[in-house]
Structure 1
Amino acid sequence: MKDWQDDVFESQGTDNRQGIFDLVRKLLAHWYWFVLCGGIGFIAAYTHLRYTTPIYRINARVLVTDQQSNANAMGQGAFGGGNLTSYFGGSNSVDNEAEVFKTRYLMKQVVSKLNAQIKYYHPGRVRDIEIHRPPFEIMLLDPDSVRGGTFVLEALDAQHAKIRQEGGFSIDVTYGNSVRLPGVGEVFISPQPQFGSIEGPYKLSIASLDGRVGEYMGRLSITINKQVSILNLGFSYPLQRKGEEILHAVIQQYMENNLRDRNAIADSTIAFIENRLLYVGRELGDVEGDIQEFRQDRQLADMSAQSQMLLQSSNEYVKQLAEVELQLDILDTVTTLLSGQANERVLPNAVIPEDAVFNGQVTQYNALVLERDRRLLSATLDNPAIKTLNQQLNTLRQDMLANLDNTRRRLTITRNSLRQKTGQLDRKVRDVPAVERTYLDLARQQQIKQELYLFLLQRREETAISKTATISNSRVIDPPKSASAPLSPKRSSILLTGLLVGLAIPFSIIYLRDLTNTRIESREDITKRTQVSIVGEIAHSGIRETLVVTPGSRTAIAEQFRALRTNLTFYLKDPQAKVMLLTSSMSGEGKSFVALNMAMVFALSGKRVVVMEMDLRKPNLSVKLDFANKVGFTNFVIDPSLAPSDVIAPSGVHDNLFLIGSGPIPPNPAETLLSNRLNELMTNLRASFDYIIIDTPPVGLVTDAQLLSQHADLSIYVVRQRRTYKSQLQIAEDLYRSGKIKQLAILINDIKPRGGGYGYGYGYGYGYGYGYYDNGKKDKPWWKFWVKN
Structure 2
Amino acid sequence: MNNNYNNQAQESFEDSEEFDLNSYIRRYFRYWYLFPLFLTLSLITGFLYLQITRPVYSTRSSILIKEEKSIGGAQGDILTEMSTQFGGNKLVENELEIIKSQNLMEQVIKDLSLEVSYTAKDGLRTVDLYKKSPVIIKAEVVTPFGYLNPLVVHMVDSSHFKFNDEETIYKTGLRFNNAWGAFVVLPGKKTQYSDMTVRFTDVDELAENMLNRLSIQQPNIKSTVLELVYEDTDIQRSKDVLNQLLDVYVLASLSDKNTEASNTLKFIENRLGLITGELGDVEKDVESYKTSKGITDISAESQLFLENIKENDSKLNEVNTKISILESVDNFIQNANSGAAAPATYMIDDPVLVSLLTKYTELDLQRERYARTTTSKNPLLETINTQLEGTRQAIRENVQNLKRGMAVTKRNLEGINTRFSAGLRSIPKKEREFVGIKRQQSIKEELYLYLLQKREETALGYASTVTDSRLIDAPIATVNPVKPRKLFIWLGSIAAGVLIPLLLINLIFLLNNTVQNKDEIEQRTGATVMGELGLMKAVKGASASDAIIKMTSRSAVAEQFRALRTNLQYLGDGTCRTLMLTSSIGGEGKSFISINLAASLAYSDKRVILLGMDLRKPTLHDRLLVDNRKGVSNYMVGQTNLEDLIQSTSVHPKFDVMTSGPLPPNPSELLGNGRLKTLITELKERYDYILIDSPPYGLVTDSALIAEYVDATLYVVRFNYTLLGHLNRIGELRNSKRFANLTVIYNGVNYGAGYGYGYGYGGYGYGYYTDDKKQKNSNLGDKLKKLVGIG
Give the TM-score taking structure 2 as reference length: 0.65
2:41 counterpart SS class? helix
Distance 1:98 1:527, change over 3 A: farther
2:214 counterpart SS class? strand
Structure 2 match to 1:50: 51
Matched residue type, 1:476: L
Structure 2 match to 1:30: 31
Distance 1:32 1:571, change over 3 A: same
1:610 Cα offset (Å): 2.1
Q: Is the 8 A contact 1:76 1:83 kept in 2?
A: no
Structure 2 match to 1:394: none
d(CA) in 1 for partners of 2:490, 2:679: 74
d(CA) in 1 for partners of 2:248, 2:533: 83
d(CA) in 2 for partners of 1:242, 1:451: 59
Structure 2 match to 1:627: 626
Q: Is the 8 A contact 1:74 1:266 kept in 2?
A: no
Structure 1 match to 2:730: 732
d(CA) in 2 for partners of 1:207, 1:22: 58
Q: List runs of 5+ in structure 2 lacking aligned partners.
A: 1-12, 284-298, 310-410, 421-439, 783-791
2:169 counterpart SS class? strand
1:512 Cα offset (Å): 3.4
Corresponding position: 1:180 with 2:175: yes
Structure 1 match to 2:66: 65
1:673 Cα offset (Å): 4.0
d(CA) in 2 for partners of 1:202, 1:729: 71
1:529 counterpart SS class? helix
1:537 counterpart SS class? strand
1:104 Cα offset (Å): 4.4
Corresponding position: 1:608 with 2:607: yes
Distance 1:209 1:495, change over 3 A: closer
Structure 2 match to 1:326: none
Q: Is the 8 A contact 1:521 1:756 kept in 2?
A: no
Return the match for 2:256 from 224, 248, 261. 261
Corresponding position: 1:592 with 2:584: no
d(CA) in 1 for partners of 2:627, 2:776: 30
Q: 1:568-622 CA distances to partner (integer Å, 9 max, x unpaired)? A: 33335x4422222211012222211111110111111112222222233443323
Q: Is the 8 A contact 2:65 2:226 kept in 1?
A: yes
d(CA) in 2 for partners of 1:278, 1:473: 34
Q: Is the 8 A contact 2:51 2:125 kept in 1?
A: no
Matched residue type, 2:58: R
Q: 1:457-478 CA distances to partner (integer Å, 9 max, x unpaired)? A: 6654433222233221222333
Q: Is the 8 A contact 1:715 1:744 kept in 2?
A: yes
Map of 1:529-568 to 2, 5 A cutoff?
Answer: 529-541=524-536, 542-543=538-539, 544-546=543-545, 547-568=547-568
Structure 1 match to 2:486: 491
Structure 1 match to 2:688: 690
d(CA) in 2 for partners of 1:509, 1:530: 29
2:524 counterpart SS class? coil
Q: 1:192-220 CA distances to partner (integer Å, 9 max, x unpaired)? A: xxxxxx46445565555745981673564
Q: 1:196-247 CA distances to partner (integer Å, 9 max, x unpaired)? A: xx46445565555745981673564133436644443222222323322321
1:635 Cα offset (Å): 4.5
Q: 1:347-383 CA distances to partner (integer Å, 9 max, x unpaired)? A: xxxxxxxxxxxxxxxxxxxxxxxxxxxxxxxxxxxxx
Aligned length: 616
d(CA) in 2 for partners of 1:498, 1:675: 69
Map of 1:336-351 to 2, 5 A cutoff?
Answer: none
Q: Is the 8 A contact 1:102 1:217 kept in 2?
A: no
Q: 1:143-197 CA distances to partner (integer Å, 9 max, x unpaired)? A: 54467744344546xxxx3333322242345xxxx44355563455477xxxxxx
Q: Is the 8 A contact 1:42 1:496 kept in 2?
A: no
Return the match for 2:714 from 697, 713, 716. 716
Distance 1:229 1:719, change over 3 A: same
d(CA) in 2 for partners of 1:199, 1:669: 88
Matched residue type, 1:32: Y
2:258 counterpart SS class? helix
Q: List runs of 5+ in structure 1 lacking aligned partners.
A: 1-10, 192-197, 289-295, 307-433, 784-789
Map of 1:567-582 to 2, 5 A cutoff?
Answer: 567-571=567-571, 574-582=573-581
Matched residue type, 1:698: P
Return the match for 1:438 from 403, 406, 415. 415
Matched residue type, 1:604: Y
Matched residue type, 1:746: V
1:679 Cα offset (Å): 3.8
1:267 Cα offset (Å): 1.9
Q: Is the 8 A contact 1:74 1:466 kept in 2?
A: no
d(CA) in 2 for partners of 1:562, 1:473: 98
Structure 2 match to 1:378: none
Q: 1:675-708 CA distances to partner (integer Å, 9 max, x unpaired)? A: 5544444444445433222222211123332333
d(CA) in 1 for partners of 2:743, 2:679: 25
Map of 1:292-303 to 2, 5 A cutoff?
Answer: 301=304
Structure 2 match to 1:346: none
d(CA) in 2 for partners of 1:24, 1:455: 97
Structure 2 match to 1:583: 582
Q: Is the 8 A contact 1:153 1:162 kept in 2?
A: yes
Distance 1:451 1:749, change over 3 A: farther
1:254 Cα offset (Å): 1.7
Return the match for 2:742 from 728, 741, 744. 744
d(CA) in 1 for partners of 2:575, 2:188: 111
Return the match for 2:214 from 196, 214, 221. 221
d(CA) in 1 for partners of 2:687, 2:526: 32
Q: Is the 8 A contact 1:115 1:139 kept in 2?
A: no
d(CA) in 2 for partners of 1:567, 1:435: 136
1:185 counterpart SS class? strand
d(CA) in 2 for partners of 1:49, 1:113: 33
Map of 1:600-679 to 2, 5 A cutoff?
Answer: 600-629=599-628, 632-639=631-638, 642=640, 648-665=646-663, 668-674=666-672, 677-679=675-677
Q: Is the 8 A contact 1:108 1:209 kept in 2?
A: no
1:583 counterpart SS class? strand
Distance 1:484 1:570, change over 3 A: farther
d(CA) in 1 for partners of 2:450, 2:15: 91
Distance 1:230 1:220, change over 3 A: farther
1:528 Cα offset (Å): 5.0
d(CA) in 2 for partners of 1:503, 1:579: 52
Distance 1:749 1:440, change over 3 A: farther
d(CA) in 2 for partners of 1:244, 1:305: 71
Structure 2 match to 1:354: none
d(CA) in 1 for partners of 2:104, 2:187: 27
Q: Larger C-alpha radius of gyration, 1 or 2?
A: 1
Matched residue type, 1:151: V
Matched residue type, 2:707: S
Q: Is the 8 A contact 1:615 1:696 kept in 2?
A: yes
Q: 1:235-280 CA distances to partner (integer Å, 9 max, x unpaired)? A: 2222323322321222122213322332343222322343356678
d(CA) in 1 for partners of 2:103, 2:15: 64
Distance 1:235 1:448, change over 3 A: farther
d(CA) in 2 for partners of 1:558, 1:98: 83
Distance 1:123 1:622, change over 3 A: closer
Q: Is the 8 A contact 2:115 2:202 kept in 1?
A: no
1:55 Cα offset (Å): 1.0
Matched residue type, 2:526: Q
Q: Is the 8 A contact 2:59 2:478 kept in 1?
A: yes
Return the match for 1:474 from 462, 469, 484. 469
How much identity, in percent, do the aligned residues show? 30
d(CA) in 2 for partners of 1:561, 1:212: 80
Q: 1:377-404 CA distances to partner (integer Å, 9 max, x unpaired)? A: xxxxxxxxxxxxxxxxxxxxxxxxxxxx
d(CA) in 2 for partners of 1:746, 1:113: 84
Structure 1 match to 2:231: 236
Structure 2 match to 1:170: 169
Q: 1:708-763 CA distances to partner (integer Å, 9 max, x unpaired)? A: 33433331111223432222222111112222223222212233456584683162
